[in-house]
Structure 1
């Protein structure tokens, strides 16, 4: 893919990470597709949500930023299938857990959007 597409996905991920850190559903709606599939694949905590249910959860949580948690995240891989489909592997730490996210992105109009967020987590080991 083009350097512009790669840059767009890096910018999307910055919004994604900051939206999670601030627990800001308006910011997260900028990166999620309206038909988002949200899936937790952690054994014993499997969960399948749609966008609205997930945004309600985000709105109800105390932001990690407010608790004084530092942002800690990393994009591990960006892979383009074609000009309309991409995948991002990322990790982040918040709320006492280490998360690994597998994000599937599609073009939504002129913009990239996360259509599937599948993740697992383990308790953070300090």
Structure 2
């Protein structure tokens, strides 16, 4: 396994931890400040900057605090050159089951999410 592959996996683990704990300090470590957050599940298209997205995360109860079972997994990682990676993953928050497509760039020696495009389905909790 290449060091870049493992570095991307480590970045995504921080991403998963940030979502599960609704922790924007963790998320700020993995999102580039100019990242895009986009969802087309509902109409109209949802497009947020990090300055708009992080306050939403700060306000919501975390899946961890609600005792939810953690559900996250990396489905694939692909590289485009030395400085770009594409990660396809799944995770869940409450009844929402997400499919995320994250584009990461290597900036200042660390992998950062520059684009998050996702879709979600509503699943009944058991």
Provide the TM-score with structure 2 as the length reference.
0.95
Provide the TM-score with structure 1 as the length reference.
0.95
Deviations 1:27-57 (A, max 9, x none): 0000000101000120336200001110011
Q: Give the corresponding residue for 2:116.
A: 117
Deviations 1:68-93 (A, max 9, x none): 01110110110000111110000111
Moved over 6 A (4+): none
Q: Give the corresponding residue for 1:62.
A: 61
Query: Secondary structure at 1:30's aligned position in 2?
Result: helix
Aligned length: 125
1:93·1:124 contact (CA, 8 Å) conserved in 2? no
Query: Secondary structure at 2:80's aligned position in 1?
Result: strand
Deviations 1:78-122 (A, max 9, x none): 000011111000011112111000000111110010000000101
- Superposition CA RMSD, Å: 1.2
Q: Which runs of 5+ in 1 are unaligned?
A: none
1:66 shift after superposition: 0.1
Trace 1:23-62 onto structure 2 (pairs within 5 A): 23-44=22-43, 46-62=45-61
Q: Which runs of 5+ in 2 are unaligned?
A: none
